[in-house]
Amino acid sequence: MIVFHGIDEYEAFFASKGSEKPGTAVAIGKFDGIHLGHKRLIESLKKRGEELKLKTLIFTFDKPFSSYFSGERAELLTTDYEREEAVREWEIDYLLEYPLRKDTVNVTPEDFVNRILVEGLNARFICGGPDMSFGRGGRGNIGSLREMAAGRYDVLAVEKVKLKDETVSSTLVRDKLKAGDMESVTALLDRPYSISGKVTYGKRLGKKILDMPTVNIVPEESKLLPPFGVYFSETYLGSERLMSITNIGIKPTVQDSGRVNAETFLYDFDDDLYGENLRVELLHFHRKEMKFDSMDTLKKTMHNDMLSGREYFAAKGIVNGG
């Protein structure tokens, strides 16, 4: 998969190769979280792309519209890196992250279709959700996309997915995540919610004082986190899967910096992972983060957490490996 940051970069790529731009099947969406609805959209894209012998392209945006217009920090279910990795697994040919700037958000729906989709991407098939919008003020929609087709491309409105009578959406995933309902989040995403990053050094109190060596990941600032607390988790080092417990929060008992991190204890594992890239999947919310009166109380509670985790994994039939 090739990632492009804007239509100019896409066109320059093929110009530099001296080749014509291929015909494309394009899926338009925000793709934050890559939930069941997005997966249905991607499946439709791949199916039609194969039928029409077109290159597949996902068209998304480099930031949420709400963040652009408010100027506030984005809260993302999926960081750019995580989205790219997720899309890569679907064997999509191209991912285009359209930059939101004053000039790009003011493109008319007509220019968006003619200049960007048809001329820029050579789109022959375009799909999106039934409530998709595009162009200045969001005036373009699935109906106007059909009206402007004029035989140049086909259009498909991909129906939304329902789960337990609820329409699957990024907003619903956010609501469940903020409530700490990780089982519902897993169902909506069709995979556990994860945090990825490089292992950094902490104070090493886990190994020195608590007899529970841990690894620390500092989440990206834009990453939306669940409530601060302790989670039963699975941690991936490459393809190796390890049972773990993860504390999301600021560790109020042992630090006063207010820095948020994800501190993970790995069962039956004690290698030095500093500098390694890990993905931590959060399976179940166990308890809220607390400030303890003493290190002894903290140590006792963490060891109880560890035992509860072992019981959880045993009940689920989860073992280290993979």
Domains, the chain, ordered by start: 2-160 (3.40.50.620), 192-316 (2.40.30.30)
Q: What pLDDT score does 295 carry? A: 76
Confidence of residue 302 (pLDDT cuts 50, 70, 90): confident
Write down the H helix ranges in 18-108. Answer: 36-52, 65-70, 80-89, 102-105
Asked whether the predicted pLDDT for residue 124 surpasses 80, the reply is yes
User: Which residues of 79-228 form beta strands (DSSP E)?
Assistant: 94-98, 123-128, 133-134, 140-141, 154-157, 162-163, 166-167, 193-200, 214-217
The pLDDT score that the predictor gives to residue 91 is: 93
Query: Given a cut of 90, is residue 13 above it in pLDDT?
Result: yes
Q: What is the mean pLDDT of residues 209-226?
A: 83
Q: Which residue has the tokens 């190796």?
A: 240
Q: Is the pLDDT of residue 253 over 70?
A: no
Instruction: Give the alpha-carbon dihedral of 105, 32, 279, 255, to 10 degrees.
Output: 70
Q: What pLDDT shows up at residue 315?
A: 95
The answer to whether residue 112 scores a pLDDT higher than 70 is yes
- In this structure, the dihedral spanned by the alpha carbons of residues 225, 221, 245 and 171, taken in order and rounded to 10 degrees, is 20
- Is pLDDT above 70 for 252? no
pLDDT(265) > 80:
yes
User: With contact defined as beta carbons under 8 Å apart, do 79 and 218 qualify?
Assistant: no
Closest CA to 13 of 129, 130, 94: 94
161: confidence class by pLDDT, cuts 50, 70, 90: very high
Residue 221 has what pLDDT? 87
Average pLDDT over residues 286-306: 86
126: left (phi over 0), alpha (psi -120 to 50) or beta: beta
pLDDT band at 81 (very low <50, low <70, confident <90, very high): confident
Q: What pLDDT, on a 0 to 100 scale, did the predictor assign at position 257? A: 58
Q: Is 3 helix (H, G, I), strand (E, B) or coil?
A: strand
Q: Which of 141, 145, 148, 156 is nearest to 47 (CA)?
A: 156
What would the mean pLDDT of 240-254 be, rounded to a whole number?
83
Mean pLDDT of the chain: 89
* Percent residues over pLDDT 90 in the chain: 64
Question: pTM for the full model?
Answer: 0.89
195 closest CA partner among 298, 102, 264, 148: 264
Q: How many CB atoms lie within 10 A of CB 93?
A: 16
Going by their DSSP bridges, the two strands 94-98 and 55-61 should be labelled as: parallel
What pLDDT score was predicted for residue 274? 84
